[in-house]
């Protein structure tokens, strides 16, 4: 077989996957970018080219900035906590204790529940006066705040739900990684007289690094993809205190029908996600030790 | 580009369907009908029964009811379907979505479809308070169906406990504050165990409840053409200040925002003595309340009054003439006195025509449940619900401002001045 034929053969093999990738990833992304340079078509008024106008509007839009800042806080508040708890839970259920299967199951349960169901459960937890949190606080003679109705607590309340839901999911990855670690490493460390902490710090943690990286990136992406909880629990309120980027895009796109502006905001979201991916591939990967 | 692809795809499919004329002729006229559920109760079941009753009487028409979620979901679905080239032929959507639907070129005026004498009579038969949200630019665009208004529900047992007359609900703002103070209970450590009053402000209905404060304070928030709002007038700011004061100054309402959905729950759980919510919740509260309760009109300040609310029937432009005719036929059937009475009794919505209230079953119902008549009597002083071009966007501006004022992030004056400026910006192209 000559080289050209070989190349054609290779491309043909790649074709099915490429068609799907182009149709559902690349084309929509480019179309979004393209639409962001036009005005929104309305009933009898077609879209016209407006250049950078949508971007100028965006820069002056206080709700957009609110949503972006909220989202950064949201990521900052949920990702490290969720990943930390996941690791702790994984270390805990990786040991040979009784009822291990049950513990693993209960940690994982929040993950398999549908998002909207989760949000509704938490909506009840947060209800003032007779919600679960309020009832627990009452035992101690305290009144909880109006969790979802106060601007200071609305976003942290949403963050709690996210951590609760995500930690169990990430635990599975850590658990898998921990089970892949050879027991001889532990035995060797013990023979050398290493403490448990030293074993974790010097042996386990570096070995878990690829998993940590994977989990971190996923958690970060999830933080920017979250919308369900916002819709069910706060609708972005009060006064945009819990508006996240994707929720705002949904609102602009499907409540206001300003599709051009929604496309503009989507470009920003894509950019954020792209930067996160780039950090992973260009920078963190090089600093991670793979077995 | 994507739209062209979709359109040509739809055209191919439509062409294929039309090329089977013999088959098409025998088929009944099919009408796809989107409807939302916004109150408690078995709404989907009631609609299904309604549709099958209609089909029994009208053999040539097939109605396909599609439950489309909340009001917000329903308009999103209908407009998405429209942009995808496959809209429903008939839908119940918020009466306030009228301008949006006109701007999107989605609907046809109903008065163009019901031109004969009987049709004119039908359109003239509704309460005028409801029709205010159906008319603009000299046309009637929607037909009142599941319409409501805000009423005050109060717990009679709690009134008695507080030494108040259970047959005398607060009739003025002053009484509202006085009574609510007596109805607010605290435990030994000073925590509130029972609130005097709850006016919901979370979610997307804050502007609506706000109108139940601005209307009695003699302020109208927008013009008929839907291109001008009056949010920073002194009477409007006063109303917002009063709302804020109920929690911040008088301490009779929880601070922060109160979720729309939990308000009826708080009432049923005996955590709130007085709540303001839609009359559409009447059946829900009637079947779940473990205590005697009363229903009253909005307390007066300078005058009485409340906004109307709820959904209208809309007929879509893209439907074929036969489908449009069938859709109007169904809307007429569903709003006929007997059916409007059935619907009102089953759901708690206000029967939309005076004729419906003259039916025997409605008379009997009004006697058994005097609460139901309160909403009807309030129609005399009711005003149009807040509705403008770019409705959802302008409404959000107002909701955000109210929530900012209620959470104390801005003063009512500041919040509403900002909202006016922002709304003017959004509406500038419609003048």
- Kindly report, residue by residue over B156-183, the tens digit of the pLDDT: 999 999 999 999 999 999 999 999 999 9
Residues of B in contact with A151 (CB under 8 A): 256, 407, 409
Is B70 in the A-facing interface, judged by CB distances under 8 Å? no
- Give the Cα separation of A281 and A140 in Å (integer): 50
* B272 beta partners: B195
- Kindly report, residue by residue over A136-191, the tens digit of the pLDDT: 888 887 777 888 888 889 999 999 999 998 998 999 999 999 988 888 998 999 89
Residues of A in contact with B1 (CB under 8 A): 31
* B147 beta partners: B310, B350
Structure confidence at residue A114 (pLDDT) = 86
Q: Kindly tell me if the per-residue pLDDT of B51 is higher than 70.
A: yes
Please tell me which residue of chain A has the smallest CA distance to B254: A146
- Kindly report, residue by residue over B9-28, the tens digit of the pLDDT: 555 555 454 444 444 456 78
Please tell me which residue of chain A has the smallest CA distance to B271: A129
Percent of chain A predicted with pLDDT > 70: 97
Residues of A in contact with B199 (CB under 8 A): none
Structure confidence at residue B339 (pLDDT) = 93
Confidence band (pLDDT; 50, 70, 90) for A115? confident
E-only strand ranges, A112-259: none
Is B407 in the A-facing interface, judged by CB distances under 8 Å? yes
Around A110, how many Cα atoms within 13 Å sit in the side-chain half-sphere?
22
B396: tokens are: 């959000």
Q: Is there a contact between B106 and A43 if contact means CB atoms under 8 Å apart? A: yes
- Kindly report, residue by residue over B137-152, the tens digit of the pLDDT: 899 999 999 999 999 9
CA A275 to chain centroid, in Å, comes to 14
For chain B, the first-to-last Cα distance in angstroms comes to 31
Around B72, how many Cα atoms within 13 Å sit in the side-chain half-sphere?
17
What angle (nearest 5°) sits at the alpha carbon of residue A108, between those of residues A105 and A114?
125
Q: How many CB pairs under 8 A join A and B?
A: 95
* Candidates B77, B101, B184, B202, partner chain A, best to mutate (most A CBs within 10 A): B202
Which has more pLDDT, B301 or B39?
B301
Mean pLDDT along residues B287-296: 94
List, in sequence order, the alpha helices (H) in B92-205.
98-103, 117-124, 128-131, 156-161, 173-183
A28: tokens are: 């929509």
Around A203, how many Cα atoms within 13 Å sit in the side-chain half-sphere?
19
DSSP A56-80: HHHHT-HHHHHHHHHHHHHHHHHHH
Which has more pLDDT, B203 or A55?
A55
Name the pTM for this structure: 0.85
Structure confidence at residue B22 (pLDDT) = 44
- Kindly report, residue by residue over A196-235, the tens digit of the pLDDT: 899 999 889 988 988 998 899 889 989 998 898 898 888 8
Confidence band (pLDDT; 50, 70, 90) for A280? confident
- Kindly report, residue by residue over B86-101, the tens digit of the pLDDT: 999 999 999 999 999 9
- Quote the minimal CA–CA distance from B317 to chain A in Å: 11
Q: How many residues does chain A have?
A: 291
Q: How far is CA B162 from CA A70, B46, B180, in A?
A: 44, 40, 10
Residues of B in contact with A149 (CB under 8 A): 201-202, 254-259, 407
Mean pLDDT score across all residues of chain B = 90
Is A143 in the B-facing interface, judged by CB distances under 8 Å? yes
Residues of B in contact with A258 (CB under 8 A): 393
- Kindly report, residue by residue over B57-73, the tens digit of the pLDDT: 998 999 999 999 888 88
Q: Is there a contact between B191 and A127 if contact means CB atoms under 8 Å apart? A: no
Q: Is there a contact between A239 and B403 if contact means CB atoms under 8 Å apart? A: yes
């Amino acid at each position: 077989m000559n080289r050209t034929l070989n190349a054609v053969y290779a491309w043909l093999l790649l074709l099915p996957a490429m068609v799907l990738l182009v149709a559902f990833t690349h084309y929509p992304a480019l179309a979004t970018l393209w639409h962001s340079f036009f005005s929104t078509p309305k009933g009898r008024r077609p879209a016209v080219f407006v250049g950078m106008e949508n971007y100028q509007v965006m820069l002056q839009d206080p709700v957009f900035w609110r949503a972006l800042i909220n989202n950064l806080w949201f990521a900052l508040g949920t990702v490290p906590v969720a990943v930390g708890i996941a690791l702790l839970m994984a270390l805990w259920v990786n040991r040979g204790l009784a009822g291990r299967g049950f513990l693993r199951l209960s940690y994982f349960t929040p993950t398999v529940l549908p998002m909207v169901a989760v949000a509704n459960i938490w909506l009840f937890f947060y209800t003032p006066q007779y919600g679960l949190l309020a009832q627990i606080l009452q035992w101690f003679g305290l009144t909880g705040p109006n969790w979802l109705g106060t601007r200071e607590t609305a976003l942290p309340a949403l963050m709690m739900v996210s951590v609760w839901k995500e930690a169990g999911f990430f635990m599975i990855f850590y658990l898998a990684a921990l089970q892949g670690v050879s027991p001889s490493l532990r035995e060797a460390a013990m023979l050398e007289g290493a403490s448990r902490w030293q074993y974790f710090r010097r042996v386990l943690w570096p070995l878990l690094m690829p998993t940590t990286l994977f989990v971190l990136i996923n958690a970060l992406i999830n933080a920017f993809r979250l919308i369900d909880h916002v819709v069910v629990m706060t609708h972005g309120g009060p006064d945009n205190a819990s508006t996240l980027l994707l929720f705002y895009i949904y609102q602009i796109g499907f409540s206001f029908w300003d599709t051009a502006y929604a496309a503009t905001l989507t470009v920003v979201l894509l950019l954020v996600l792209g930067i996160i991916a780039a950090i992973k591939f260009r920078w963190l990967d090089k600093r991670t030790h793979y077995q | 580009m994507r739209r062209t692809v979709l359109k040509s795809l739809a055209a191919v499919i439509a062409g294929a369907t039309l090329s089977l004329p013999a088959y098409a002729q025998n088929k009944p006229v099919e009408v796809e009908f989107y409807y939302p559920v916004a109150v408690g109760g078995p709404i989907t079941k009631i609609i299904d029964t309604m549709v099958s009753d209609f089909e029994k009487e009208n053999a040539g028409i097939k109605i396909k009811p599609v439950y489309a979620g909340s009001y917000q979901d329903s308009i999103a679905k209908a407009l998405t379907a429209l942009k995808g080239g496959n809209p429903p032929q008939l839908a119940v959507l918020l009466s306030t979505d009228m301008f949006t639907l006109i701007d999107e070129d989605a609907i046809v005026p109903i008065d163009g479809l019901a031109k004969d004498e009987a049709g004119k009579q039908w359109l003239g038969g509704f309460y005028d308070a409801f029709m205010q949200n159906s008319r603009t630019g000299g046309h009637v665009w929607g037909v009142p169906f599941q319409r409501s208004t805000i009423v005050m529900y109060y717990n009679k047992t709690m009134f008695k406990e507080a030494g108040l007359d259970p047959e005398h609900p607060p009739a003025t703002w002053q009484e509202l504050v006085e009574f609510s103070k007596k109805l607010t209970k605290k435990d030994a450590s000073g925590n509130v165990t029972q609130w005097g009053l709850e006016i919901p402000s979370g979610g997307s209905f804050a502007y609506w409840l706000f109108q139940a404060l601005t209307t009695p304070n003699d302020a109208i928030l927008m013009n008929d053409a839907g291109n001008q709002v009056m949010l920073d007038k002194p009477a409007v700011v006063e109303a917002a200040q009063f709302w804020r004061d109920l929690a911040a100054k008088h301490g009779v309402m929880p601070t922060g925002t109160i979720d729309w959905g939990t308000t009826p729950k708080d009432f049923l759980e005996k955590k709130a003595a007085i709540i303001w919510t839609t009359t559409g919740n009447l059946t829900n509260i009637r079947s779940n309340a473990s205590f005697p309760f009363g229903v009253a009109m909005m307390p007066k300040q300078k005058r009485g009054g409340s906004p109307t609310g709820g959904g209208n029937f809309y007929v879509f432009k893209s439907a074929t003439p036969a489908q449009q005719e069938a859709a109007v036929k169904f809307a007429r059937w569903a709003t006929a006195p007997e059916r409007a009475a059935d619907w009102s009794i089953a759901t708690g919505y206000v029967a939309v025509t005076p004729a419906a209230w003259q039916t025997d079953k409605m008379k009997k119902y009004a006697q058994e449940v005097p609460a139901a008549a309160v909403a009807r009597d309030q129609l005399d002083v009711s005003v149009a619900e807040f509705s403008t071009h770019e409705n959802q966007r302008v409404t959000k501006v107002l909701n955000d401002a109210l929530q900012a004022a209620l959470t104390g992030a801005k003063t009512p004056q500041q919040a509403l001045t900002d909202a006016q400026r922002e709304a003017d910006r959004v509406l500038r192209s419609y003048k």
